[in-house]
Amino acid sequence: MKRRLRSYMEPGSVSWAIRRAEWGVLGYTDEDNEKPKIAIVNSSSNLAACFAHLDVVAARMKEAIRAAGGVPFEVRTAAPADFVTGAGHKGGYILSGRDLIVNDIEVAVEGALLDGMVCLASCDKTVPGQLMAAARLNIPTIVVACGYQPSGTFKGEHIDIEDLWLRTVYRTMGKEKLTDEDVTEMSSQAILGPGVCAGMGTANSMHIVVEALGMGLPGSTPVQALSDKMWDVVEKAAERIVQMVWDDLKPRDILTPDAFANAAMVMLSVCGSINTVKHLQAIAREAQCDVDVYRLFEHYQEIIPVLAGVRPNGEHTIEQFEAAGGARAVMKQLERYLKTNALTVTGKTVAENLADAKVYDEEVIRPADRPLSTRPAIVLVRGSLAPNTGIVKLPATEQRNLKFRGPAKVFDSPESALEGIRKGEVKPGHVVVLRGVGPKGTPGMGMASAVVFAVDGAGLSDKVAIVSDGQESGLSNRGLVVKEVSPEAAEGGPLALVQDGDIIDIDVEARRVDLEVPEEELAKRREALNRPSTTDERGWLWIYHQLVQPLPQSGGVLVSTKR
């Protein structure tokens, strides 16, 4: 006998009558009262190519859920996209939009007491937002990656959105000689269809995280948007979510410490985006899972080899990575390290899911005993300048300077930093300090990427280092940059105390970033600083500023503490 669903309303009751009236016009029948009610979480938007296809996916998902014996209800959420939504308010709506998505989902799904969710994952922040909501609500959930965008060529060479971004920044710095016609042609070729950015940026990294956590179907990531493979996953996910509801298989059964360990290992092995660290910590917090994701990355960065280098971290494309077997193939190569008893949305363990997994190209996805590199791609550092943490991203194979010591050149906004670089204020040997762009300082966490690219465009990326409490695009990987320094300057962290000329010592091999200023002097500066963090923002960003927590804790707002 099937169990009583939480969405079930006693026939003849007030709630039953009201729902029957509201949903009857949508085709809801009396028989549907006893069927699983499934939310299709859709972040569709015409603001970016990332989301442009989701309505089509949602329509197919509705049909498939109906065919599987469920009742589908489409709900909408915010849809932040870095390249578009990042234009306003210093990029503050990007990370903060993730947390808005969590609450959008809670209001719609928990308010209606639906039984399960299928989340249509797309751009960077929708994926962690959906996973955080799944962990908070703890109802059966599958996350479906809706794919990466196809890209084209320019003058016989591959071009995608990251290439367009980088080369147009270089043009403004005089490093690239491009005509207006060149830029027009490049922008026409960089994106040839809907889906997320085509490199191993945050979007594709988070899609892979979904599978590594066990919250997506095996073999479903990465995938090209609207491909036959993606549609096959849609059909299978619809069938599976209905059974998951009957089985009462919930996210917190899956989101265990072992699952987060697996996700950390997979990200380290594919040179994933550093943004996955803070997203995984926020998901763990919502799942009430007692795990320190930052410490997980610190532990496994010394153990897990790099097995794949996808642009911009290596020479291979995301298409080649998918053809080689994608996330499932990576997990097969890592099987000796993984927590293979971890449960997944299939109702099976990781070991069972990997039993027949294959690697189709061992040059693209290397075996663990013949890695691309044994040097970690994501390195967490600590020290007197970053007592909680900072993160350094390294490419898969490029040899990069891992030690740097020099005088600080301090900027309190990306705009002032860019102006300083243009005026030649940044000299070889400087450690550029960009502060005030953390989660509370922006508010919403600003981007350091433009400054990193400007330094590179000025020919200084191998001659200076950068330290910032801001984040960087997952598609950015230039020079020696310590990002997401915590505590941030707006919370009175050591970064707020740095002055021009102070010596900063960065030693990635020793996992250190230190400010060489006597404690007595810092104490004087701290006393003089002694001012609360404020913002002129109103509306959502004011709420975010008031409630956001430090990144190593959860880096989110309105995080649940009970359920």
User: What digits encode the pLDDT tens for the residues 384-401?
Assistant: 999 999 999 988 777 778
Place 562 in a pLDDT band, splitting at 50, 70 and 90.
very low
- pLDDT of the residue at 560: 42
- pLDDT above 50 (res 558): no
User: 548: which 2 tokens?
Assistant: 């956001």
- pLDDT of the residue at 524: 94
Q: Which residue has the higher pLDDT, 301 or 535?
A: 301
Q: Which of 253, 242, 249, 255 is nearest to 210 (CA)?
A: 255
Q: Token pair 């479903």 is at which residue?
A: 220
Cα–Cα distance for residue pair 85/90, rounded to 1 Å: 10
Cα–Cα distance for residue pair 136/117, rounded to 1 Å: 12
| Strand-strand pairing, 431-434 and 465-468 | parallel
Overall average pLDDT of the 59-65 stretch: 98
The total of other beta-carbon atoms located within 10 Å of residue 218's CB is 21
Cα–Cα distance for residue pair 53/215, rounded to 1 Å: 22
Place 336 in a pLDDT band, splitting at 50, 70 and 90.
very high
Give catalytic status of residue 461 as yes or no: no
**pLDDT per residue as tens digits for the range 74-100:** 999 999 998 899 899 989 999 999 999
Place 312 in a pLDDT band, splitting at 50, 70 and 90.
confident
Cα–Cα distance for residue pair 385/467, rounded to 1 Å: 9
Cα–Cα distance for residue pair 49/84, rounded to 1 Å: 10
pTM of the model: 0.95
User: 466: which 2 tokens?
Assistant: 């950068």
The total of other beta-carbon atoms located within 10 Å of residue 253's CB is 17
pLDDT averaged over the chain?
93
Residues 43, 45, 461, 473: which is the catalytic one? 473
Q: Token pair 């609360």 is at which residue?
A: 532
Overall average pLDDT of the 7-12 stretch: 96
- pLDDT above 80 (res 239): yes
Cα–Cα distance for residue pair 374/397, rounded to 1 Å: 10
Overall average pLDDT of the 394-410 stretch: 88
| Strand-strand pairing, 480-486 and 512-515 | unpaired
Place 174 in a pLDDT band, splitting at 50, 70 and 90.
confident
3-state SS string for 106-152: HHHHHHHCCCEEEEEECCCCHHHHHHHHHHHHCCCEEEEECCECCCE
Classify residue 32 by its DSSP letter. Answer: G
- pLDDT of the residue at 561: 38
All structural domains of the chain, each given as residue ranges with its CATH number in brackets, are: 378-547 (3.50.30.80)
**pLDDT per residue as tens digits for the range 201-210:** 999 999 999 9
